[in-house]
A = this chain, B = another copy of it.
Amino acid sequence: MIKLAITDDHPLVIDGLLNALNDVPDIVITGTYNNGASLLSGLQEILPDVLLLDLQLPDKKGTELVPILLQQYPHLHILILSGIESSPYIREMMQKGCKGYLLKSNTDKVVLTGAIREVYNGGIYLEASLKEQLLHEMLIVKRKIDKLSPRITRREREVLNLIMKELTNQEIADKLFISLRTVETHRYNLLQKLDARNTAGLLRIAREMGLE
């Protein structure tokens, strides 16, 4: 039996969902809520396995609500049901730990129950085209900056890699059998070329360049 809670600020949507899930034998509704506050207090009473969540609630944005929910209930499977189709936004929600994302525009009863069962069983539910798109972004985005970034020499790249591995300049010097001063020079040149101000910036740009 999958315990499901529903949160949406449109009563009609909740009605529709209740109706659709009414005769599904392995899903039981533990509660319906129409804003963030009532959801949070409701979950203290009874905790579902899966939460079907609309992101546009009157009192709290989904981007804030989801981290709060997952901090309190790390095992809660959150399945987003939203009208927003922007892929960076979807990625953000998934990275915050949601287990699935349904688009209101093309979710019918079959898709809905399938998605609920999928996330209940520890899976990820995303529409095929969204999956495709997310994967594409994650893989492809990195490369683009490569061409824009200034030419870094082989040695500089090497040093940068070791900085990323959390070595200090001295350790890098020892590992490469060069002087500490040389490493400092390379590091300084990296800061200049990559237009960074400190280690944090260096690491950010290194990741953007795709070196891991």
- A135-B124, A135-B134 known; A95 vs B201 contact (CB < 8 Å): no
> Which residues from 54 to 100 on chain A have a C-beta closer than 8 Å to any C-beta of chain B?
74, 94-97
Identify A210's interface contact among B96, B134, B200, B212, CB under 8 A: B96
- Residues of the B chain whose Cβ atoms lie less than 8 Å from the Cβ of A210: 95-97
- Residues of the B chain whose Cβ atoms lie less than 8 Å from the Cβ of A166: 196-198, 200-201, 204
Q: In the complex, what's the smallest C-beta–C-beta distance from A8 to chain B, in angstroms?
A: 24
**Assembly CA distance A198 to B147 (angstroms):** 30
Q: Which residue of B lies closest to A143 (CB)?
A: B97
- Residues of the B chain whose Cβ atoms lie less than 8 Å from the Cβ of A138: 135, 138
- Residues of the B chain whose Cβ atoms lie less than 8 Å from the Cβ of A140: 124
Q: How many copies does the complex hold?
A: 2
- Residues of the B chain whose Cβ atoms lie less than 8 Å from the Cβ of A199: 198-200, 203
Chain A residue total in the interface (Cβ 8 A): 35
**Assembly CA distance A123 to B210 (angstroms):** 19
**Assembly CA distance A205 to B129 (angstroms):** 32
Q: In the complex, what's the smallest C-beta–C-beta distance from A101 to chain B, in angstroms?
A: 11
Q: In the complex, what's the smallest C-beta–C-beta distance from A87 to chain B, in angstroms?
A: 13
> Which residues from 91 to 120 on chain A have a C-beta closer than 8 Å to any C-beta of chain B?
94-97
- A198-B168, A198-B199 known; A131 vs B142 contact (CB < 8 Å): no
A49 within 8 Å of B by Cβ? no
A164 within 8 Å of B by Cβ? yes
- Residues of the B chain whose Cβ atoms lie less than 8 Å from the Cβ of A204: 166
> Which residues from 139 to 158 on chain A have a C-beta closer than 8 Å to any C-beta of chain B?
139-140, 142-143, 146-147
Q: Which A residues have a C-beta under 8 Å from some C-beta of B?
A: 74, 94-97, 123-124, 126, 131-132, 134-136, 138-140, 142-143, 146-147, 163-166, 168, 196-201, 203-204, 210, 212
